[in-house]
Structure 1
Amino acid sequence: MRKNMLIILLFFVITFVMAEMPRLTFPILGAANTDVSDSVGKGQTVNTQLLPHSAKSDSTVIDTTTQVLADTAKMDSLQKAIWMHNKAIDDSLRADSINRQRKNGIDAPVEYTAEDSMTYEGASGLAHLYGQSHVKYQDMDLQSDQIFMQLDSSLVHATGSLDSLGKKFGTPIFKMGSDTYENDTIAFNFKTKKGLISDVYTQQDDGYMTAQLAKRGANGEIYLQHGRYTTCDKDHPDFYIALSRAKMRPGKDVVFGPAYLVVADVPLPFAIPYGFFPFSKSYSSGFIMPTYGDETSRGFYLRDGGYYFAINDKMDLKLLGEIYTKGSWGLSAASNYRKRYKYSGSFFASYQNTVNGEKNMPDYTKATSFKVQWSHRQDSKANPYSSLSASVNFATSSYERNNLTSMYNPQAMTQSTRTSSVSWSTTFSSIGMSLSSTFNLNQNMRDSTIALTLPDLNISISRFYPFKRRHAVGKERWYEKISMSYTGQLSNSISTKEDRLMHSSLTRDWRNGMQHSIPISGNFTLFGYLNINPSLTFTDRMYTQKQELSWDEATQTVKRDTLQGFYNVYNWAFSVSASTKLYGMYIPSRKVFGDKIMAVRHVVTPSVSFNYAPDFSASRYGFYKTYQKTDADGNVSLVEYSPYEGSLYGVPGRGKTGSISMDLSNNIEMKVKSDADSTGVKKISIIDELGASMSYNMAAEERPWSDLSTRLRLKLTKSYTLNINAVFATYAYEADSVGARPYIGTHTEYSKGRFGRFQGMSQNLSYTLDNKKVSDLIKWLKGERPKRKNDRDSRANRDDDYDTGVETNVDEDMERGKHGARKDNAGKAETDEDGYMAFNLPWSLSLGYGVTMRENTSGKFNYDSMRYPYKFTQNLNVSGNLRISDGWNISFSSGYDFENHKISMTTASLSRDLHCFNMSCSVVLAPYTSYNFSFRCNAATLTDALKYDKRSSYSNAVQWY
């Protein structure tokens, strides 16, 4: 009986133990005790993994009271609130799990590590991670010095630690997908993906968002309380927008309630009831707020307001308008487009209706004007055989005078000419032919003259050798060196006034035609050293009209009859040139010059050429005609003219041409031993070129010799070369009697025992001096040799060619994006070894001097020397830049006109980089006096919202009597 009772008791014990075994199974793999801190040494890493459980467990949690945080007395109010929030959730979960089954809330492995130690409480399911702790779950990543995980409720709590000085370190860094948050304390739920964050800090595009308390929703939205938005990257920002409460959708926008601006910790009386900041990386459409002001002649205005259309990632459109209280208004449209590795460009069109003065008053005027700009650039990689480029800048003559922006821009106001061009070209490499077409437009803003060419088509075939054998055997024959090419041009142009362009006739007012040019040339060598280059050029012109002239005796005027048809005008010219090189070597005496100078080489390059062209004004060609003119007195004369005079490509000149041109060029170099290397040598240019040229016209009956042209080129330094050109007249002045006006006669200056008469010269000299050059000069005077820095690859540091690989919209301000955050050392002065601010005052000064020397034929003639006095025209230009400290920059430009004894246009500007803001002031002193002050935020998102501009008023000069 006792034995049976023991067997029954043993059966119940085994059954009870087997039923309770699931309670003793820990979810941490490899953990056999509730405390694992003793098994891990300090500095070692504990790496464990929490696996998901899909099966239901019938175990119950032992009801034990566990202290979640070490000491609640050390917590602040916010940390206590978060701890109480987590404790309430834990208590509810524990109560629910005592009497019923529970399901694990995670569905993926949770990886967590700790550098210092880790403890686990089996009764409460709470894991403590200490020292650079790291928890990863799906796309969530949490790093902190202390992390507390509630394994059976999917909760995680992270906070930093305090050092011996009471400073917090190791604060949590929470990442969820592409969003990153830096905060003081965080509580997060794996399952619901909701969290409570204190002192959150996150970056969105070029802005930084902070808040004292934030709550994260399941979809990633964050609700902020007492938030701050700024584009300053400092820990203590220079400015911020204080937000009472806000909702942030990462990567999209921030919507906030009442907000006000704080600058340097001083709240400013600039508040708004609500607003939003867009954070979208892709462009979005929206309204553009206008600017306001007051203009003297047009009244109060609202301008540069409108709507921005983000059409797609490759194109945008901006529509702006302006309106004035006195009746003026304007509209403008601007678009940018870009397709990577293909093309990019921009388009701008503006129309203005300008009303000045009061109606029914003498100064009342009304004018319309417009402007069109188009710029197109094709990537060289897009198509190596075809290209399209455009640079169009067309505006009516009154546009810049009526445009408010141009009134404060002296360069725009004083611009006298505008040029526009659109060009397209393609190449057929198989046959060596290229085809190009251009559209050209030149405007004279002073007299509203327009010169338009539409189109200008060019066809060219590169040089080829028609007689060259395909399979050459033996030496090259002389006729195989003959080459030829072809160039054709088709044009249609007009020159007229601005208001007559649209009313012009294509047949009467436009000039059109086609021109062909076929040059044939060869290159031969005689006697082994003489180069002979003959050439024959044939030019043909095709016109669709010509003008026949006749004399009307009744009206005493010339009658013009325009004949339509096909007319051919041609000419040809032949030339041959010969040139060679003569070398001379001089080795200086070693006794006099030592061993430093090795040799001096003199190279003389003489050349002579002969040019011939027949007289195409002969009657057999028909290019020139005559008509009989009978004046009122009955005098009869023949007047020669060309029916093609004034045509697009002109007409061959009168007279036969047979000229001989001579040129002589000299070069002197010296070879010396190098100081750096005893075995090395280097060349020094003494005279880079000294040359002279002159020609003789055999067909001229009088004064066949041309003037003597001379040139001199000296390489003074590696970066500066001095060029001087001068002309000497061949024929002398003659006068029949003293007091008579001198004229150029037929006797040469050389026949009178004088050298050619100096005609004058023009020379521009410029030099830039900066603090580095002055420092190097002082060191050189002291005998110190400046240290040379090694060349570095600047390509790696350039970001203009850097390609992010992401196509974005083409608005440059928006594409540059991050203007608020500069580099880490921005705004910080450099310090020396002792920690004091290093003295550094970078500056540069550019001096430009131009002088022109010419004969003053309006002056008094000297009959003794048979010379006119010389007239000098001088001008001096000065520009400079001075950086007085980090962020402060001063620049100026001025000049002096020696002829008018006046100071030329003088401008000065002062700019201050305030890290997050930029302040600039510019002044124009002459010839227009104006000023401009600007203070605005650097960040692209706030540059139009946080700004202040002040400009001087523009008005015409008024004289009061």
Structure 2
Amino acid sequence: MGIRWMLIFLILSSPPAAAKTFEKVRTLPVKGTVAVRSEPEESVPGAGEVWSDSVHYAAQSVDYRFDKNTILFLGDAKIRYGKMTLTAEKITLRIKDDMILAEGIPDSAGKPVGTPVFKEGTEEIRGFRMTYNIKTKKGTVVSGKTAFEKGFYRGECIRQMGKDVLFVSRGTYTTCDRDHPHYHFYSRRMKVLVNDKVIAKPLIFYVADVPVFYLPFAILPIKKGRHSGILTPRYGSSRYDGRFIRNVGYYLASSDYWDTTVKTSFFEKTGWLLESDFRYALRYRFRGSVTGSYKDEWRSGERVKRRWNLRLSHSQTLDPTLRFRGSAHFASDKTYMKDTSLHPIDRMNRTMRSDLFWNKRWPKSGNSLSASISHSKFLDTSESTLYLPRIGFRRARKAIFSPDKLSEKADRWYHALYYSFQTNALHTQRKRKNSFTGTLEDKNSTDLKGDLKLSTSQKTRWFNLSPSLGWSERWQRAEDGEYIRTDALNTSVGLNTKLYGLFVPRIGSLKAIRHVVEPRAAFRMQHRRITRGGTYSFGGERDPVKPQRFLNLSLNNLIQIKTQKGKKERKLTLATLNTSTSYDFERETRPFSDLRTSLSIKPVRRFDVRFSAVHSLYDRDDTFDPLRPDLKNVSLTSSLRFSGGGRGKKSETSGLRSFSDPFLHRDADSEERSTIPGLEPPEDDERTSTSGPWQFQLSHYYGLYKTTTSSRKTSWIKGSLRFNPTAHWRVSYVFNYDIEDKEMTAHDVSIYRDLHCWEAQFQWTPSGYREGYYFLLNIKELPDIKIEKKRGRGAFSFR
């Protein structure tokens, strides 16, 4: 339950560890200070010394009774000592027996007014009557109540029996702020060990005034922050496992730097599962984990097999420039994670990966060196890939001529000349399945590559010029054992500019229109030479040099508008239009590539259109015809959004939780829910919507894909409607309709009801692969206490 119980009744914090008595005061004004004589304990250094402290008080009247040796404060009485403040209509100090008594007095109707309120720091407790013995540090609160961390606590009688021990009779806890709460926990007797635990005998859970759950006793942790403790079990049933109990175990947090969890699960039909998770971390230095599980699988009373899983991970920063990380994953069989894990990602993942990575940087020079080993196994085919090793060195881009700060300006053209270098070495071992025999075969290859590049960027008044020159060399040992060397000389030059057009129509609120045109051209040329065979490619057979030349062309358009209403000015992008193509000088047929066009229009905030198309600049006879391009594919997406009723407040009712502490556990059940059809949260969760009482979204997609022999159309409409009939009801409907097939491919209905301190939700998917329903009723602040029903399989969880 994770109940933060009764840290609550930590209410009567004791004064300094010493007995207190008041010095004799003959007359007292209605407001002032009383001197206190403190007698330190013998264990305190300097014992036997006497010093004075002060108790500040205020009241409408003060009565000092010498015969009874008491001071009586009446009418809005207030006593302040250190951080402690006590207020009540009547406060009595009995000096002889070191007792403080605070209580209210009845009004004309006999109802008590001015009941005591005790405060220390941010903590506050109220009660009908309070007593506290300064010497013994014991106190009593009659009908006490307080609020702490969104919870409300009450006790018919609370007795402080020492600095860190409280006894509570007939105590209750709830997060409902009503005077008559919708639910509460009740215990006839409780012992509170402050900042440790609460022992309750018995513990009864009430909904309204109806008891629904009973435990003969309960031990509940109330420690703050991370701490060791028993995990909360979860109960339920499934078609595959039958009835089950999960999460039976213990969480051990013996240090700020490590923790471990050991838990087990028992299944009626399939045996038992043991899981363990060990984690360690030292901020800015290292962190890692060792996670494993063991499944003893049974069927029809007989053991079927034993299965297991092991994961290791470690990352470490050896110094600010040197990092290391590694991970490994092992499993007994291909389907272990799919059969046992509650996490959707683990269940769907069909590749097991292990790797080691090391990286060293030299910030001043810009150099970096990395080395890694990685292994991947594809579970469905049993094929694998091993990179052993992968080594890379990189020299970051650096200026060839650095400006002399004393004699040269920093804007000379040659100061923009840069060079960079990188090299990579890779050895690969593959196991691939032979398509004819079906057996796995070993394939090994080695690859060594180096690149050197010179580049610059020069700006003129009208253009930006970006030339570059590069040399690359690649040495390979192919899987068939042949040596291949590839030399390549790469040159390129880019040219671009921007043209601006400004129009000032001054029509209504429209003040200006700006059109930005950006033409780009880039010429790229490569001379590549390949040598095959020989000794490490020396003395082998050279292929003829095959130059490659390309010209990339693009034209980008941007239209922006500026509007003004009163003094409020607004700028927005109305539309973008981009086109691009390229020309291959070496191709004899169809040297121009396809013409690609994209258009985006957003005239208003609630509506936008996106268009893309691919055209061939040639007809079917390969004749260049740019005026009549041949359409190959096109897509059009339009979206319309409306909302109304003003802006709503973000709801605080969602039971979702997020934690930043890396040691806090993930709720496995929350991930289990994500596998339930229809439970995936919408893009805009209606429970936390800020757009108002209603929302409507409608989008349409049209796609046409053409080949030389056929064409295919795709068209669908997707819509959603969300509205709040009242302040406590939220309803949403989402659908997807295929226009071409004339069928509803998906539609979901979701209903949410705010029940004050409870919340309920119902989600229904009438058809499709996610067909099913899910109902959940839970306490907002204690979401683990819930009733749920899903896909016809019921489960009651009390955690």
When normalised by structure 2's length, the TM-score is 0.75
Q: Does 1:842 align with 2:690?
A: no
Change (3 A) 1:180 1:668: closer
Per-residue deviation at 1:666?
5.0
Is residue 338–residue 346 contact of structure 2 (8 Å, CA) maintained in 1? Answer: no
Q: 1:324 and 1:847, CA in 2 relative to 1: closer, same or farther beyond 3 A?
A: same
Which residue, out of 624, 639, 648, partners 1:748?
624
Does 2:582 match 1:694?
yes
What are the equivalent positions in structure 2 for 1:243-392 lying under 5 Å apart?
243-268=187-212, 270-334=213-277, 349-352=292-295, 354=297, 368=307, 370=309, 372=311
Which entry has the higher C-alpha Rg, 1 or 2? 1
Matches within 5 A, 1:794-813: 810-811=664-665
Secondary structure in 1 matching 2:555: strand
Q: Which residue of 1 aligns with 2:367?
A: 433
Which residue in 1 is equivalent to 2:523? 610
CA contact (8 A) 1:611 1:657 kept: no
- 1:573 match: 489
Which residue of 1 is the match for residue 419 of structure 2? Answer: 484
* Aligned residue among 326, 332, 339 for 1:402: 339
Helix, strand or coil: the match of 1:732? coil
2:38 & 2:593 partners in 1: Cα distance? 105
Return the letter of the residue paired with 1:546: A
Task: Work out whether 1:659 is the aligned partner of 2:532.
Answer: no
Residue 156 of structure 1: how far off its partner (Å): 1.8
Instruction: Indicate yes or no: 2:695 matched with 1:761.
Output: no
Structure 1 residue aligned with 2:769: 927
State the partner residue of 1:854. Answer: 705
The runs of 5 or more residues in structure 1 that have no matched partner are 1-25, 55-103, 499-503, 548-559, 626-641, 644-651, 735-745, 777-788, 790-799, 815-839, 860-869, 955-961
AA aligned to 1:614 is H
Moved more, 699-708 or 330-339: 330-339
User: Aligned match of 1:223 in 167, 176, 184?
Assistant: 167
Amino acid at match of 2:546: K
The CA deviation string for residues 807-858 of structure 1, in whole angstroms up to 9 with x for no partner, is: 99534789xxxxxxxxxxxxxxxxxxxxxxxxx9623344444332211444
Any idea what SS the aligned residue of 1:307 has? strand
CA distance in structure 2 between the partners assigned to 1:47 and 1:916 by the alignment? 45
CA contact (8 A) 1:688 1:715 kept: no
1:872 counterpart = 2:745: no
The alpha-carbon deviation at position 755 of structure 1 amounts to 1.4
Contact 1:694 1:709 in 2 (8 A): no
The structural deviation recorded for 1:595 is 11
- What is the rounded CA distance, in whole Å, between the counterparts of 1:653 and 1:233 in structure 2? 84
Pick the aligned partner of 1:539 from 472, 475, 478: 472
Partner AA of 1:319 in structure 2: V
TM superposition shift of 1:387: 6.7
Amino acid across the alignment from 1:330 = L
Distance in 2, Cα, partners of 1:311 & 1:885: 50
Task: Output the amino acid matched with 1:871.
Answer: R
Show the counterpart of 2:678.
none
Q: Measure, in 2, the Cα distance between the counterparts of 1:475 and 1:276.
A: 73
Q: Distance in 2 between matches of 1:882 and 1:614?
A: 64
Task: Supply the distance in 2 between the matched residues of 1:896 and 1:377 (Cα, whole angstroms).
Answer: 51
Distance between the aligned counterparts of 2:308 and 2:741, measured in 1? Answer: 35
Deviation per CA, 1:18-69: give whole Å up to 9, x if none.
xxxxxxxx944461xxxx6xxx6xxxx4213144398xxxxxxxxxxxxxxx
Q: Is the 8 A contact 2:643 2:692 kept in 1?
A: no
1:728-786 alpha-carbon deviations (Å, 9 max, x no partner): 2133224xxxxxxxxxxx43345xxx6121111234444544335xx69xxxxxxxxxx
Instruction: Supply the distance in 2 between the matched residues of 1:321 and 1:771 (Cα, whole angstroms).
Output: 51
Aligned residue number for residue 686 of structure 2: none
Q: Provide the rounded CA distance (Å) in 2 between the counterparts of 1:764 and 1:147.
A: 75
Aligned to 2:32: 47
| Equivalent position of 1:98 in the other structure | none
Counterparts of 1:926 and 1:655 in 2: how far apart (Å)? 57
How far residue 443 of structure 1 moved from its aligned partner, in angstroms, is: 7.5
**CA drift at 1:235:** 3.6
What residue number does 1:676 align with? Answer: 566
Structure 1 contact 377–390 (Cα < 8 Å) conserved = no
User: Does structure 2 conserve the Cα–Cα contact (< 8 Å) formed by 1:314 and 1:809?
Assistant: no
Of 383-392 and 142-151, deviating more is 383-392
The one-letter code sitting in structure 1 at the alignment partner of 2:465 is I
Closer, same or farther: CA 857–693 of 1 in aligned 2, 3 Å: closer
CA 1:883–1:374 in structure 2 vs 1: closer, same or farther (change >3 Å)?
Answer: farther
The residue number in structure 2 matching 1:156 is: 100
Contact 2:607 2:639 in 1 (8 A): no
| CA separation of 1:134 and 1:749: change in aligned 2, threshold 3 A | same
Counterparts of 1:4-43 in structure 2, within 5 Å, are 27-29=23-25, 31=27
Maintained 8 Å contact 1:574/1:612: yes
For residues 431-485 of structure 1, what are the alpha-carbon distances to aligned partners after superposition, in whole Å with 9 as ceiling and x for unaligned?
Answer: 1224456777777676566666566554322211224454553796655543211
Q: 1:601 to 1:151 in 2, by over 3 A?
A: closer
Please give the alpha-carbon distance, in whole angstroms, between the structure 1 residues aligned to 2:327 and 2:715: 34
| Identity between Structure 1 and Structure 2 (%) | 21
Residues 422 and 438, structure 1, Cα contact 8 Å, conserved in 2: yes
CA distance in 2, matches of 1:598, 1:300: 70
Measure how far apart 1:874 and its partner are.
Answer: 2.7
Higher helix share: 1
The whole-number CA distance in structure 2 between the counterparts of 1:283 and 1:684 is 49
Relative to its length, the structure with more strand (as a share) is 2
Say whether the 8 Å CA contact 2:560–2:575 is kept in structure 1.
Answer: no
1:573 and 1:254 mapped to 2: Cα distance?
Answer: 76
Letter in 1 for 2:624: T
Of 379, 391, 398 in structure 2, the residue corresponding to residue 464 of structure 1 is: 398
User: Does the CA-based 8 Å contact 1:205-1:279 persist in structure 2?
Assistant: no
CA 241–399 in structure 1, closer or farther in 2 if over 3 Å, else same: same
For this pair of structures, how many residues does the alignment match? 726
Q: Is the 8 A contact 1:294 1:300 kept in 2?
A: yes
In 2, are the aligned partners of 1:135 and 1:143 still within 8 Å (CA)?
Answer: yes
Question: Which 5+ residue runs of structure 2 have no aligned equivalent?
Answer: 1-21, 40-47, 434-438, 650-656, 669-690, 794-799
| Equivalent-residue separation in structure 1 for 2:421 and 2:495 (angstroms) | 26
Distance 1:356 1:894, change over 3 A: farther
CA shift for structure 1 position 119:
1.0
Residues in 2 aligned to 1:690 and 1:475: alpha-carbon distance in whole angstroms? 36
- Quickly say closer, same or farther: Cα 1:600–1:146, change in 2 above 3 A: closer
Distance change in 2, residues 1:456/1:882 (3 Å) = farther
The separation in 2 between residues aligned to 1:262 and 1:720, in whole angstroms, is 51
Residues 894-909 of structure 1 mapped to structure 2, 5 A cutoff: 894-898=735-739, 902-909=743-750
Q: Indicate conservation of the 8 Å contact 1:581/1:603, yes or no.
A: no
Asked if the contact 1:309/1:316 (under 8 Å) is kept, the reply is yes
Q: 1:376 to 1:910 in 2, by over 3 A?
A: farther
Residues 905 and 424 (structure 1), Cα distance of their counterparts in 2 relative to 1, 3 Å cut: farther
Q: Amino acid of the residue matched to residue 255 of structure 2? A: N
Q: 1: CA distance between counterparts of 2:84 and 2:562?
A: 72
Contact 2:290 2:310 in 1 (8 A): no
Q: What is the CA–CA distance in structure 1 between the aligned matches of 2:629 and 2:154, rounded to whole Å?
A: 83
